Amino acid sequence: MSASTDLVRYAGRWLQVFYRPGKAFADLESGQSTAEWMSVLILVMSVVLCAGIVTLPVALNAERALIETEFQSYSDLSADQHSLILREAVQFDHRQLIGLLVMPASVCFMVAAWSVVGKHCGELIFGKPLPYGKVLPITGYASLVLVPETIVKTALVLLSGSLDPPIHPGLFLDDADPETLWILFLPGVDFFGVWFLFLLGLGLARTFRGSATLAWLVLGLVWGIWIVIRRTIELLGTVYV
């Protein structure tokens, strides 16, 4: 079978992840290859990298605005010095290059981290061993959610000019007290993150022949703990920095 035929077959299965995930994971279980889930990873990484390139002007503008704000604390700088610093700040250099490379690398880290979590949570819940060779394709399929997520967030970044557009339940609670516990941690509950966990739990449950509900509960608990830890660190940073 040619590589182009394989890609067409893979693409059909990838699309099923979005509208028939149960069928997609069933097909994946019956016949998957390393080339397939690696192709998924390359696809997602490519989309994320392209999004980083497209939104780079917004990032440079944000850096320029931050530097202009900091200038208020340095009144001894001349106008020429201001211009030189701002000009260098908005130029593409090794810092931006490293930032762009980190974005697709973070996809690999996410897939690896959730594969470890999925494997050990699945073994703990269902009492069956499962090799990483089975877990990695499941996580790779679930990571396809990053494609629509990246497209949506890129559009929001370009429209709003903000590098961190909110996509969480807190958007619907405009009148709530911002100091309440729920409002403090809701920003960490990303809608696409919920979708990712739904797919990951479904894939693990099908492979382990277990309860999807139980898998979702355990994965959700792990994710919830991570959100609390991450948001606590962020909030403490805003207090002490």
Q: Please tell me the predicted confidence (pLDDT) of residue 86.
A: 62
Tokens of 203: 């894939």
148: which DSSP letter? H
pTM exceeds 0.75, yes or no? yes
pLDDT beyond 60 at 68:
yes
Please write the tens of the pLDDT for every residue from 6-43.
667 778 888 989 998 988 888 877 666 777 888 899 99
Tokens of 8: 């067409």
Q: What percent of the chain has pLDDT above 70?
A: 72
Closest CA to 141 of 21, 33, 19: 21
